[in-house]
Amino acid sequence: MIKTKQIQRPQLVMIVDDHEINRDAIGAILEDDYELLFAENGKEALDLMQKHATELSIVLLDLMMPVMSGFEVLAFIQKDELLRTIPVIVLTAEKQAELKALQMGAADFITKPFDMPEVILARVGRIIELSEGRALISAAERDPLTGLYNRNFFFEYANRLYHYHPEYKMDAVVINIERFHTINALNGRSFGDDVLRCIGVEIRLFLAETEGISSRVEADRFEIYCIPQPDYAAVLARLQEAVSRISSKVNIHLRMGVKPWQENIDPVILFDGAQAACNMVRGDYKNPLMIYNEDMHLQELLNQRLLNGLLPAVKEKQLRVFYQPKYDILHDPPRLSSAEALIRWDHPELGMISPGQFVPLFEGNGLIGIVDSFVWEEAARQVASWRDRLGFTLPVSVNLSRSDVFDPTLIDRLVHLIESNNLSYSNIKLEVTESAYTDNAGQVLGVIRQLRELGFEIEMDDFGSGYSSLNMLSDMPFDVLKMDMKFIRSIETNEVDRRLVTLILDIARYLGVRVVAEGVETEGQLNILRDDGCDLVQGYYFSRPLPPEEFEKLILREIEIS
């Protein structure tokens, strides 16, 4: 008969002592019965305890150590709700120290020198057995990966605090990882687990310094119920810093939503608010923290309305595509070169809504694909129609969202788009935002290379708003660089911006790509750009985005000139 003990993995014991000779001595006594982990000082011991918190059966801790003494370790452990459940036996030669250690939460002590192996084995075995009941309870209420409470127990305890300890006025904090499924898919599950574990450790360290409880309620969603913090940005920053240390190659971004305590709002509702706040900053790497407020509540209602309204909007033709011209300014007079297709939503109650209000919202939940397909179809149909009716083929750029780039059917859909409208690949250009390039560089670059091989021209949109470094730039496949509007806005007045623009133009020349300046509004800006050798200009100076019937007039004028 197989005994339960044989199926179980050997119990994990950590031995902490600054002297190798002591570690070896104890190790030799325990190695046949236990799996062993060693640490040379208190600091290392705490790191390992954090990492293996849910696996450790017991810790044997020397009291006198440089760097961080056993007492300091005990004091720390007492503050951590999870570490506190791991029994500690202290190793000491001083009677005085034994008492103090027991008062500080140690379960037992072993006296040096270690000359009675049977006694030591028996003590370790007994303490593990005694704590097993506790360990079982603790395991049932915790997420095995992070050691934080699981969802049920978390809300059980949060509700108890709420009902029986009204003196605790707790805030709800939600933390999510940006595109965690992609991180998992690209780097493997065990890397994903490392990220989750790291967040768990850092949250516990944070809670050891303040008051609160925490949970990994599901996948990459962490919740903290804690006394109000003076600076949530700092809390997020320390978590972000911890995950950033995991890998220099993978960019991991956290976002945080907070709903402050409110009279008569129970934890479940409070956390709904915090989650909503967290969702508001999805994808916004520059402002990853949102504290719930009244405006947000209104925004939430509006978002809900837009989300529910999208499918009817497509059906009832409320979505419209506007076109904004790009002019080739190296020609005199400037020549109409192409256009960008920009989505507009003509909402029956809300009026004309600009994409800034709904594109990020739909990017967050996959619905943007519906908008984009609509725009691509519409733009392709329009290019063909102008060609057939006016005899003028004007290439049109369409915007690709991040999620489009990761869609495995993207290439087939675009090929079909071109073929079914009887276009050539040079008639439709693709704008990909800079931040999509830097996100998951490998996969994105592969897809973009394939698109270019087919004959699509790729424009890197919003260049300068993301974080691509110069050495990455030379590996990135694109044909046109679209300089972010923020550089243009002040080139007439701000010397630094002006020099940046010159620098970007130099880099583009070096890379052999053309440059579009976006957001050009004045003649002064235009002249500076022309003098610096910028190829193309898009902006209100030439025209705002126009509905197709009005844009047609620009084409007719162009036909007249040439």
Decide if residue 343 touches ligand C2E (CB under 6 A): yes
What binding mask, one character per residue, do residues 510-529 give for Mg ion by CB under 5 A, x or -? --------x-----------
- Residue 461 contacts Mg ion per CB under 5 A: yes
Q: Are 37 and 48 in contact (CB under 8 A)?
A: yes
Query: Measured between alpha carbons, how far is 411 from 417 in angstroms, rounded to an integer?
Result: 10
Residue 342: which of Mg ion, ligand C2E, none does it interact with, CB under 5 to 8 A by kind?
ligand C2E
| Least distance from Mg ion to the Cβ atom of residue 358, Å | 15
Q: Which residues contact 155 (CB under 8 A, 6 or more apart)?
A: 267, 268
434 binds Mg ion (CB under 5 A): no
Identity of the residue, 142 or 326, whose beta carbon is nearer to ligand C2E in the bound complex: 326
Decide if residue 368 touches ligand C2E (CB under 6 A): yes
Residue spans of beta strands (DSSP E) within 191-310 = 212-218, 221-226, 254-259, 289-291
Question: Which of 48, 75, 79, 74 minimizes the C-alpha distance to 61?
Answer: 74
Give the residue nearest to ligand C2E (CB).
539
Beta bridge partners of 216: 222
Q: Which of 17, 220, 372, 535 binds ligand C2E (CB under 6 A)?
A: 372
| Residue 240 lies near Mg ion (rule: CB under 5 A) | no
> Crossing angle for the helix pair 95-103 and 70-79, nearest 10 degrees?
10
SS3 of residue 169 by DSSP:
coil
Q: Closer CB to ligand C2E, residue 283 or residue 519?
A: 519
* Nearest in space to 68 (alpha carbons), one of 90, 101, 45, 52: 45
Q: Does 431 bind Mg ion (CB under 5 A)?
A: yes
- Judged on CB neighbours under 10 Å (0-12, 13-18, 19+), 35 is middle
Contact partner, 375, from ligand C2E, Mg ion, none, Cβ < 5-8 Å per class: ligand C2E
Residue with smaller CB distance to ligand C2E, 255 or 482: 482
Containing 36, the helix (H) or strand (E) segment is strand 35-39
Least distance between Mg ion and beta carbon 485 (Å) = 7
Number of residues lying near ligand C2E (CB under 6 A): 24
Alpha helices in 39-150 (DSSP H): 42-51, 70-79, 95-103, 117-140
Supply the DSSP symbol for 34: S
Residue type, 304: Q
Binding partner at 401 among Mg ion, ligand C2E, none, C-beta below 5 to 8 Å by kind: ligand C2E
The candidate with the shortest Cα–Cα distance to 459, out of 546, 335, 340, is 340
Q: Which stretch binds ligand C2E (CB under 6 A): 77-85, 103-111, 507-515, 537-545?
A: 537-545
Residue nearest to Mg ion (CB): 431
Helix, strand, coil fractions of the chain, as percent rounded to 5: 50, 20, 30
Work out which of 27, 283, 464, 519 binds ligand C2E, going by CB under 6 A.
519
Q: Is 363 in the site for Mg ion (CB under 5 A)?
A: no
Q: Is 399 in the site for ligand C2E (CB under 6 A)?
A: yes
Residues 380 and 261: their CA atoms lie apart, in Å, by 52
Which runs of E-coded beta strand occur in 457-500?
457-463, 480-483
462 binds ligand C2E (CB under 6 A): yes
Using CB under 6 A as the binding rule, whether residue 436 contacts ligand C2E is answered as no
Which one among 184, 399, 421, 538 touches Mg ion, defined by CB under 5 A?
Answer: 399
Q: Hey, which residues between 306 and 335 contact ligand C2E (CB under 6 A)?
A: 324
Binding-site ranges for ligand C2E (CB under 6 A): 324, 342-343, 354-356, 359, 368, 371-372, 375, 399, 401, 431, 461-462, 518-521, 538-540, 545
Binding-site ranges for Mg ion (CB under 5 A): 399, 431, 461-462, 518
